[in-house]
Structure 1
Amino acid sequence: MPELRVGDRQWSVTAGTNLLDALNQNGVPVPYSCRAGSCHACLVQCVQGLPSDSRPDALSAEQRQQGWRLACQCQVVEDLQVHTFDPQQDGRPAEVAAADWLSPNVLRLRLTALRPLRYRAGQHLVLWAGNVARPYSLASLPEEDRFLEFHLDCRQSGEFCDAARQLNIGDPIRLGELRGGALQYDPDWHDRPLWLMAAGTGLGPLFGVLREALRQDHRGAIRVIHLAHDTNEHYLAKPLQALAASRPNLTVEFWTPAELPAALTQLRLVSRQTLALVCGAPDSVDVFARRLYLAGLPRNQLMADVFLSRG
């Protein structure tokens, strides 16, 4: 049986055991969210030996050369020594600039990075509150905002959301890995119709993408659709309406589940050149995507980012 070592601890592991499970079940806490290789919260560094990796494409060549792997996607097949991500040593320092409620269930968290961080609107960043980590999409715009903004869905209790509720201005927080994500604005889209369709806090990264499109003076029609649990949860209604009032090519729509079937039926593409960016929980993304395909949107013109709930 292979031996797994972390720090001064060592134990035997059945060959083929998932690395994330082998660590967490033996008292080495490694955070995770999606278990699909998307969130990157379970990043570990292999110091000696290598696991079998089912998602070698999930990390950059440089990260892999340094031994970093996503524990959820790896199986222990030989003796392995692992360094787990230490937010105090490996993370970037930041502090809370603001924490306020945009709706009864959406907490807006604004952070100030104590070292410069280069990012694009719509990217993901792993946040560490103590020993609890979760990946969140950036809702801020690097060229305009002096803070990093995140929209947290706190409808259900969870370790990170519970910790975030207690944060105060000036509290320290650590930043983990910054990664791509499917949602970003491409300047080559300048004249094409652009649909931004979000469910819940999936609106956060799309709000950043929208502002980037407007900053680059996008000339095509832009349609923003936000699906929320009820009218109180259209948490960016006012800023979106203000943007629409000043931009003749921008329209915004606010849907609830009761209105969804009829609203979907009315969706019509005005152009085969339309691009659609979709973000939210898996069920909502699937509903939006299926309707867009039925409306004639080519599959390569839809970009989707799925939020998996694990507060």
Structure 2
Amino acid sequence: MPELRVGERQWTVAPGSNLLDALNDAGLSVPYSCRAGSCHACLVRCLQGQPGDARPDALAADKRQQGWRLSCQCSVEEDLQVALFDPLQDGLPAQVTGLDWLSPTVLRLRLEPQRSLRYQAGQHLVLWSPNGVARPYSLASLPGEEGFLEFHLDCRQPGAFCDAARQLSLGATLRLGELRGGALHYDPDWQERPLWLLAAGTGLAPLWGILREALRQEHHGPIRLLHLAHDTREHYLAPALAALASRHPPLQVELLTPAQLPQALAALRLQSRQTVALACGSAANVEQFSRRMFLAGLPRNQLFADIFIGHA
């Protein structure tokens, strides 16, 4: 039976045990969100021994060389010594510089990191609350032009991170984990092509950054943005989107509620098979968006999607 060691603690586990489960079953409270190797909240550092790794490509090469692994994707095959991610030691400090409610349920959080981060619109970061809750959130800020990092937190349902965020005050310190690149991005090669941005809820956050990145790069093709919200009060960026559309006539914005969605989707028609579509939101909503786009004739390799997973 392989032995697992963390600090002064040492115990045996069944061969092939999932590393995340083995650590949490021992009471070590390693955070996680997706269990799919995407959120990177469950990082641990291997000090001795090598675990089986189902997703070796999920981490950058330099991170792997430093011993970091995603515990949800690892199995214990031999004696293993690991160190847990310590946000105080391994995380980048960031000060809360903005806290305001954009709607009854969407909290806008702005952070100023201790050192500047190089990132692209559409990426996400793991945020660590002061009480040690870790969750991944998409960046809504525009890289290179804004001196803060912006996140849109969906606080409609209770959740450990949202509950902690409600207690934050200006000047508080959070810690930043790994910067991740998801499926969403803007490619300058798309400049002449129609661009569709399909968002549900706070899936609008990364697309808000990508939209402004496209306009900053002088996107010439038409842009259509659809935002699905639970009710009209939750179209939390409606004024900002309207202002942007008034300055950029090629931008068309459509604000939808669930009752309006079926008719709106049925009416979607591709202007060109060169259209590129980006979708973000819950799995059910992204599936609805994707199915309609494919039925309308969009080639599958021209749709990029990020799925938001609910956080406990």
The equivalent residue for 1:29 is 29
The correspondence of residues 32-181 of structure 1 with structure 2, limited to 5 A, is 32-130=32-130, 131-181=132-182
Match of 1:20 in 2: 20
Answer yes or no: is 1:230 the counterpart of 2:231: yes
List structure 1 runs of 4+ shifted beyond 4 angstroms. Answer: none
Give the alignment's TM-score, normalised by structure 1.
0.99
Query: Which amino acid in the other structure matches residue 277 of structure 1?
Result: L
In structure 1, C-alpha distance between the alignment counterparts of 2:118 and 2:262, rounded to whole Å: 40
**Distance apart, 1:25 and its partner CA:** 1.2
TM-superposed CA distance for 1:305, in Å, is 0.4
**SS at 2:236 equivalent:** coil
C-alpha separation between the residues in 1 aligned to 2:72 and 2:80? Answer: 15
> What amino acid is the match of 1:124?
H
Give 1:115 deviation, angstroms. Answer: 1.1
Q: Could you tell me how far apart the structure 1 residues matched to 2:175 and 2:63 are?
A: 20
Deviation at 1:106, TM superposition (A): 0.4
Amino acid across the alignment from 2:129: A
State the one-letter code of the partner of 2:188: P
Residue deviations 1:186-210 (CA, integer Å, cap 9, x gap) = 1111100000000000000000000
Question: 1-side partners of 2:261 and 2:188: how far apart?
Answer: 31
**Aligned residue pairs: how many?**
311
Identity of aligned residues (%): 70
| 2:311 paired residue number | 310
Deviation per CA, 1:110-133, whole angstroms, max 9, x where unpaired?
Answer: 000011211111111000002100
With normalisation by structure 2, the TM-score equals 0.99
Give, in whole Å, the separation in 2 of the partners of 1:104 and 1:235: 9
Cα distance in structure 2, aligned partners of 1:248 and 1:100: 29
Report the CA distance between 1:224 and its aligned residue: 0.4
Residue 117 of structure 1 aligns to a residue in which SS? Answer: coil
Compute the displacement of 1:158 (Å): 0.8
AA partner of residue 88 (structure 1)? L
Deviation at 1:184, TM superposition (A): 1.0
Q: For 1:43 and 1:250, locate their aligned partners in 2 and report how far apart those are by CA, in whole Å.
A: 40
- Which residue in 2 is equivalent to 1:272? 273
Q: Indicate the SS of the match to 1:297.
A: coil
**Per-residue CA distance 1:56-115 (angstroms, 9 max, x = gap):** 111112211221110011111110000110000000011100111000010000000011
Distance 2:50 2:228 in 1: 44
Q: Which runs of 5+ in 2 are unaligned?
A: none
3-state DSSP of counterpart to 1:4:
strand
Matched residue SS, 1:284: helix
The CA distance in 1 between the partners of 2:268 and 2:41, in whole Å, is: 36
Amino acid at match of 2:175: R
- Equivalent position SS for 2:305: strand
Q: Does 1:241 align with 2:242?
A: yes
Structure 1 gaps, min length 5: none
Distance 2:188 2:177 in 1: 28
Q: Which residue of 1 aligns with 2:6?
A: 6
CA distance, structure 1, for counterparts of residue 64 and residue 225 of structure 2: 38
How many Å separate the matches in 2 of 1:53 and 1:173?
A: 30
Which whole-Å CA distance do the structure 2 matches of 1:60 and 1:115 have between them?
A: 21
Distance in 2 of aligned mates of 1:159 and 1:4? 28
The structural deviation recorded for 1:179 is 1.1
Using the alignment, how far apart are the partners of 2:224 and 2:143 within structure 1?
A: 23
Q: How far is 1:248 from its partner?
A: 1.0
CA RMSD across the alignment? 0.7
Q: Distance in 1 between matches of 2:185 and 2:146?
A: 17
